[in-house]
Amino acid sequence: MINTKLELPCGEILKNRIVKSAMSENLAKSDHAPWSGFNKLYSQWVDAGLVITGNVMVDSSALGEPNNIVIEKGRENLEALSSWAKAGTQKNCHLWVQLNHPGKQSPKYLSKVPVAPSAIGYKSHLKNMFNTPRELSELEIWDIIGRFAYAAEMVKRSGFTGVQIHGAHGYLISQFLSPRHNQRSDKWGKDRSLFVIEIYKAMRKSVGEHFPIGIKLNSADFQKDGFSTEESMDVILKLSELGVDLIEVSGGSYEAPVMMKGKKESTLKREAYFLDYAKELKKHTQTPIVLTGGFRTQKGMIEALENHACDLIGLARSMAIDPDFAHKLLNDMNVDSPVKPLSTGFKTLDKIFPLEIIWYTDQLHRMAKGKRPNPNANVFKTCLSSLKSIGIQVLKPVRNSSE
């Protein structure tokens, strides 16, 4: 079952059912362009049917992390992108670029005044991480839509085989979809799905009918007054009707990071965090579905496919710690994921740090240097060295999104 091919609505074929989900590399240099380390990293995952890059930003004045790749007018870097695409599409592996705009989820040290659908700041502990945003004007909204379309065109031109819209995890598209974060009284607030629909349409226009476009979307935000499962399903059905090729189901945001650990009650019952939602979704759409988050056992993956909960298995952390994981699954080596809970050994630190992101990013950086991942890497030490490099970033001048 995991070995079976899958045909996408646009006619492209994925060679098997394993998807390496997006993991931000945070590895670009100050020019925000890819370099040979990206080629090394991505050539290790080509056994998967589909590999999705870490989020690539469409505006250099709106970054989620200091070392994101950016594709925008004047910053195309086509040669470097082509070399990355070539390395990651060996063995007929599909390699898609995930395009993103962080909106207000751009850290304080990167955005003095980030942008968002409405000028609503975070109320929780996130207040310390992100500045209060200003509201986007209509003109700026169209500019961002154009940026997604332009970046998609460059992605296609450089030889990647598809593109994914990052519509999940609390970034700008998620913010537009959420009644908690989008309180506009104009058409972008009256129909909160309009922004993502216009992005999809503009991208489709720029890449044509036969180039795959996927989307990663939350099954819900898991927040009071947030984007609900009903709304999520509604948006997916609209995009399916418009011809989107692949839907990746996830959930949560920085406010409720369930994409990394699921909701307690559901995860106790099953390993994949959003399995019930995906299963329900499959009853309503023919568009192929990738389910991501929590898959750890080959048995769990095969069951999810056999029970028609999803068409593809999305894997992130497992692939960062064992780049051969897809190969082992495909060759029926009855392997389970080596992913385990992480701890610094200090409860308070564990709460403050985004441990999972820091530790797994470090594994990606090892792979980019041609080293094997180190499953025994000390969590505390990894966090300390990451803090040091963030400290250096904080001292650099901050970009203003309105500049």
Ligand X SMILES: Cc1cc2nc3c(=O)[nH]c(=O)nc-3n(C[C@H](O)[C@H](O)[C@H](O)COP(=O)(O)O)c2cc1C
Q: Tell me which residues touch ligand X (CB under 6 A).
A: 21-24, 54-55, 98, 166, 168-169, 216, 250, 259-260, 292-295, 315-318, 356-357, 360-361
- Least CB distance to ligand X at residue 263 (A): 13
Nearest CB to ligand X, comparing residues 118 and 250: 250
For the residues of 362-392, what is the DSSP string, one character each?
Answer: HHHHHHHTTPPP-TT--HHHHHHHHHHHHHH
Nearest CB to ligand X, comparing residues 316 and 326: 316
Contact 122, 82 (CB under 8 A): no
- Least CB distance to ligand X at residue 64 (A): 8
- Least CB distance to ligand X at residue 187 (A): 27
- Least CB distance to ligand X at residue 180 (A): 20
Nearest CB to ligand X, comparing residues 98 and 182: 98
Contacts of 295 (CB under 8 A, 6+ apart): 271, 272, 301, 304, 313, 314, 315, 318, 337
Nearest CB to ligand X, comparing residues 56 and 118: 56
Nearest CB to ligand X, comparing residues 100 and 118: 100
The residue assigned the tokens 């019952």 is 269
- Least CB distance to ligand X at residue 216 (A): 5
- Least CB distance to ligand X at residue 174 (A): 10
From CA 28, how far away is CA 67, in angstroms rounded?
A: 5
- Per 3-state DSSP, what percentage of the chain is helix, strand, and coil (rounded to 5)? 40, 15, 45
The residue assigned the tokens 């870490």 is 54
Residue type, 46: V
- Least CB distance to ligand X at residue 223 (A): 17
- Least CB distance to ligand X at residue 314 (A): 6
From CA 178, how far away is CA 275, in angstroms rounded?
A: 22
Contact 18, 311 (CB under 8 A): no
The residue assigned the tokens 């056994």 is 47
- Least CB distance to ligand X at residue 347 (A): 21
Structure tokens at 73: 């007018």
Q: Which helix (H) or strand (E) holds 358?
A: helix 355-368
Contact 121, 193 (CB under 8 A): no
Nearest CB to ligand X, comparing residues 202 and 259: 259
Q: Exposed, middle or buried by CB within 10 Å (0-12, 13-18, 19+), for 243?
A: middle
Strands 289-292 and 312-315: parallel
Nearest CB to ligand X, comparing residues 133 and 373: 373
Contact 305, 313 (CB under 8 A): yes
- Least CB distance to ligand X at residue 382 (A): 12
Nearest CB to ligand X, comparing residues 117 and 293: 293
Nearest CB to ligand X, comparing residues 193 and 361: 361
From CA 57, how far away is CA 75, in angstroms rounded?
A: 11
Q: Which helix (H) or strand (E) holds 98?
A: strand 94-100
Nearest CB to ligand X, comparing residues 238 and 261: 261
From CA 224, how far away is CA 314, in angstroms rounded?
A: 27
From CA 99, how far away is CA 239, in angstroms rounded?
A: 17
